[in-house]
Chain A
Amino acid sequence: MSAPSNMRVFVPCDALSIALGADEVADRLVAEAASRSLDVTVVRNGSHGLFWLEPMVEVEVDGVRHAYGPIDADDVPELLDAGLLEAGPHRTSLGPTHSIPELERQTRLTFARVGVIDPRSLDDYLAHGGFDGLRRALTMAPGDVVGEIETSGLRGRGGAAFPTGIKWRTVLGAPATPKYVVANADEGDSGTFADRMVMEGDPFCLIEAMAIAAHAVGASHGVIYCRSEYPHAIATLEYCIDVAPQHGWLGSGIAGSGLDFDIEVRVGAGAYICGEETSMLESIEGKRGMVRPKPPLPALEGLYGKPTVVNNIITLASVPWILANGGAAYSAHGVGRSSGTLPVQLAGNIRRGGLVEVPFGITVRELIEGYGGGTASGRPARAVQIGGPLGAYFHDGQLDTVLDYEAIAAAGGLLGHGGVVVFDDTIDMAAQARFAMEFCAAESCGKCTPCRIGSTRGVELIDKIVIGERRSADVAQLEELCDVLEHGSLCALGGLTPYPVRSAMQHFPEDFGLGDRNSDQNFEQKVGESN
């Protein structure tokens, strides 16, 4: 049998796969192929998001990609012996990539290209529908582009779930110029990585989205504010921002239209609060990352006091699909006021962690059991924190809550940036509550009193509650403090910290020495009697 020619083998280049040895795998593949005189091109793609299979190697045979994983560099000779280039069987064989169950069941709109294409290849991007959305947008009046976003029902994926169309409409209507588009890539929530995966796996999509936004609102300059912990993403973005103008996709007269728009990458200051939009704008302006009061809204007085679109990376990355396929096609997915899909990030104590893009409306249980395969430890899941470090803890009796902004809110939580972190039955929830207050204290910008002083008092109170000398008084004080934080803080860092604290106390009172949720339904009364 003659050796196959011009074979493409894919090895991911995203930060997680690299940390797991993907660079070594790629190097070994190149070296082995050379020594065996095989005609192989190693393509560095993004990650599909199936983290337990990384580094995942794929080979394209007759237009179909076949996956193997996880692969160690030392597996490479054996993999080639097993006939990798003909998609031969091996103990790590996963079959055709698209039929891996956890991938096949997803609804990949925003992440359609991530893992599939070579992120740095403009040709690859164009061959997979890239810039279709921008091309269509440029044939439309700005107000109609905004209308398409309104029809889609897209809401902000950075945390607050604010309708993107309304935000864009506000900026479009603002008379002041110049206007700006700022992409928030500070991705500070622990256990989240969707923004990173887009920037590392489909960076032109972000560029396209920002250009669409620029046309829609009349902006001339864009900024991507990326956290410094993402060096691979920064390098990839900078490469693509360099390439795009050479082919008319950025700069003056984009794609032959009258649109002039450029983008720069700014590296974050390494503070969680710099992900908060007004603090981020201060940081971009070269000032200390301090929260500004709203109003004025950034949409009207944002960067340098000018009208500014601030959107999360996932919000933006959803835009090209919407423009290419229409807002109605997007809102055909999802439920109620939660339109479209959400890229969920499964992390913590979970067997199959990673990214799953699903339509709104599936249950939390389906996510962590169906996709995630339960806990990694094999022990029962006890608590799930949804929505990042400021999100509420859910207990095992709440797992049938559906993924939907309103349903999660009704259950006392928030969806935030779509992080889902699982804990098994060895977790100490009082320690988790303390951690939430510590996090607030460590990340507080220090501007407003509830958060600046209150977070430190919160840590102290939880310590006292656990010691238990005057437990009921300390619990009552913590409740009051949570009210002051929730309703009195200037921004959502202080404002949301009560979510994890209160949910931990309510659902897991036994960890605070407050009786048992299961044996005692009315634990608050019990709290009053303890001591």
Chain B
Amino acid sequence: MWSELRALRDGVDLGTPPRDGEPVTLSVDGVPVTVAAGSSVLLAAGIAGCTVPKLCATDTLEPFGSCRVCLVEIEGRRGYPASCTTPVDDGMQVRTNSEMLTKLRRGVIELYLSDFPEGDIDGGWSQLNDTLDQVGVHRLADDHPYRSGANHQSGVLDLSNPYFLFDQAKCIVCSRCVRACEEIQGTFALTIGGRGFGSTVVAGQDESFLDSDCVSCGACVQACPSDALIEKSLFPGGYERADSRQA
């Protein structure tokens, strides 16, 4: 059910929630677009029809700015700001594609792929797959230097909740589940524990989902872009972890 809901949403997910400020006009890849002040550049780009890849942003949650695939260029500004956390300005000129942007987005996706089960990419239907399609990278080359690095491919597989499961091997640590639990459900059952490379989703006080304060509302499952949180009903024969990629 949740995945159907999500599929419905996907068509219209502009990445960040709508705002109600005064109208502001900017241009995205030369296309003029008018949105409410306070809106993100990501949202404006979507309305202008210049879809920018995204992973950590979804229009039911406040922008977070962690995945860094939504980078754009803005005339007169240095660097490559994340479009999801950059508010629009009158007269702003945004570029959503350039050689450098392609390179940076591919670079970020390669980092994700270096810690993701390879066998789960082909035929996948998560938002992550959409993003991979947009960026145009689906797997690391056989001799890619990132292969065989440290990873979380034998991490936690939490099957405790009767309705959904959490597979750390597929978690891209985007915090969408944590934020959904907090912002949509108001429950605060999930946090990100650890730091840096060791960051991971933690239920309750480092408990199983079942033992935590989780109320099984499914907000996190609906929010997860990579199917690390997924309904058990989709696996009638029981869940089996996909081949953990690269040996």
A and B are interacting partners: yes
Chain A binder among B1-9, B159-167, B193-201, B233-241? B193-201
B111 touches A293 (CB 8 A): no
Chain A binder among B19-27, B62-70, B204-212, B218-226? B62-70
Which residues from 74 to 107 on chain B have a C-beta closer than 8 Å to any C-beta of chain A? 79-80, 82, 85-87, 100, 103-104, 107
B103 touches A449 (CB 8 A): no
Chain B binder among A194-202, A243-251, A477-485? A477-485
Please tell me if A446 contacts chain B, counting CB pairs below 8 Å.
yes
Contact of A450 among B111, B191, B197 (CB under 8 A): B111
A488 touches B68 (CB 8 A): yes
**Contact (A447, B66) CB under 8 Å given A293-B85, A484-B104, A488-B104:** yes
B68, B87, B112, B115: which has the most chain A beta carbons within 10 Å? Answer: B68
**Contact (A443, B196) CB under 8 Å given A453-B112, A489-B68:** yes
Please tell me if B71 contacts chain A, counting CB pairs below 8 Å.
yes
**Residues from chain B with Cβ under 8 Å of A295 in the complex:** 85-87
**Residues from chain A with Cβ under 8 Å of B67 in the complex:** 448-449
Contact of B197 among A293, A456, A480, A489 (CB under 8 A): A456
**Residues from chain B with Cβ under 8 Å of A288 in the complex:** 191-192
How many residues on A have C-beta within 8 angstroms of the other chain's C-beta atoms? 36
**Residues from chain B with Cβ under 8 Å of A484 in the complex:** 104, 107-108, 111
| Chain A-chain B contacts (Cβ-Cβ < 8 Å), number | 106
Q: How far is the CB of A38 from chain B (nearest CB, A)?
A: 55
**Contact (A460, B194) CB under 8 Å given A473-B145, A490-B68:** no
Q: Is the interface of B mostly helix, strand, loop or mixed?
A: loop
Please tell me if B168 contacts chain A, counting CB pairs below 8 Å.
no
Considering only CB atoms, which chain A residue lies closest to B100 in the complex? Answer: A487
Contact of A453 among B79, B115, B144, B195 (CB under 8 A): B115
Please tell me if A441 contacts chain B, counting CB pairs below 8 Å.
yes
B150 touches A480 (CB 8 A): no
Complex CA gap A388/B87 in Å reads 32
B196 touches A444 (CB 8 A): yes
B197 touches A488 (CB 8 A): no
Q: How far is the CB of A482 from chain B (nearest CB, A)?
A: 10
Please tell me if A474 contacts chain B, counting CB pairs below 8 Å.
yes
Complex CA gap A470/B108 in Å reads 22
A483 touches B146 (CB 8 A): no
Please tell me if A454 contacts chain B, counting CB pairs below 8 Å.
yes
A446 touches B173 (CB 8 A): yes
**Residues from chain B with Cβ under 8 Å of A490 in the complex:** 65-66, 68, 82
Complex CA gap A293/B82 in Å reads 9
**Residues from chain B with Cβ under 8 Å of A293 in the complex:** 63-65, 82, 85
Q: How far is the CB of B191 from chain A (nearest CB, A)?
A: 8
Contact of B71 among A441, A451, A488 (CB under 8 A): A488
Considering only CB atoms, which chain A residue lies closest to B194 in the complex? Answer: A446
A446 touches B108 (CB 8 A): no
B87 touches A454 (CB 8 A): no
Complex CA gap A473/B146 in Å reads 11
B104 touches A446 (CB 8 A): no
Complex CA gap A457/B114 in Å reads 9
Please tell me if A452 contacts chain B, counting CB pairs below 8 Å.
yes
Complex CA gap A488/B172 in Å reads 16
A454 touches B111 (CB 8 A): yes
**Contact (A460, B150) CB under 8 Å given A448-B66, A453-B112:** yes
A488 touches B80 (CB 8 A): yes
Considering only CB atoms, which chain A residue lies closest to B69 in the complex? Answer: A449
Considering only CB atoms, which chain B residue lies closest to A493 in the complex? Answer: B196
Interface code A434-445, partner B: CB below 8 Å = 1, 0 otherwise? 000000011111
Interface code B47-77, partner A: CB below 8 Å = 1, 0 otherwise? 0000000000000000111111001000000
B107 touches A453 (CB 8 A): no
Complex CA gap A501/B85 in Å reads 29
Please tell me if B149 contacts chain A, counting CB pairs below 8 Å.
yes
B199 touches A452 (CB 8 A): yes
A450 touches B145 (CB 8 A): no
B66 touches A460 (CB 8 A): no
Please tell me if B143 contacts chain A, counting CB pairs below 8 Å.
yes
**Residues from chain B with Cβ under 8 Å of A455 in the complex:** 196-197
Which residues from 471 to 526 on chain A have a C-beta closer than 8 Å to any C-beta of chain B? 473-474, 477, 480-481, 483-484, 487-490
Q: A residues near B, CB below 8 A?
A: 271, 288, 293, 295, 441-457, 460-461, 464, 470, 473-474, 477, 480-481, 483-484, 487-490
Which 7 A-B pairs rank lowest in CB-CB distance, beginning with the nearest? A446-B199, A444-B196, A484-B107, A293-B65, A293-B85, A453-B111, A477-B145
- Cβ contacts A to B, 27 pairs, < 8 Å: A271-B195, A293-B65, A295-B87, A444-B197, A446-B173, A446-B198, A447-B66, A448-B66, A449-B67, A449-B111, A450-B107, A450-B111, A453-B111, A453-B112, A453-B114, A453-B197, A456-B149, A457-B114, A470-B145, A477-B144, A481-B107, A483-B107, A487-B71, A487-B80, A487-B100, A488-B71, A490-B66
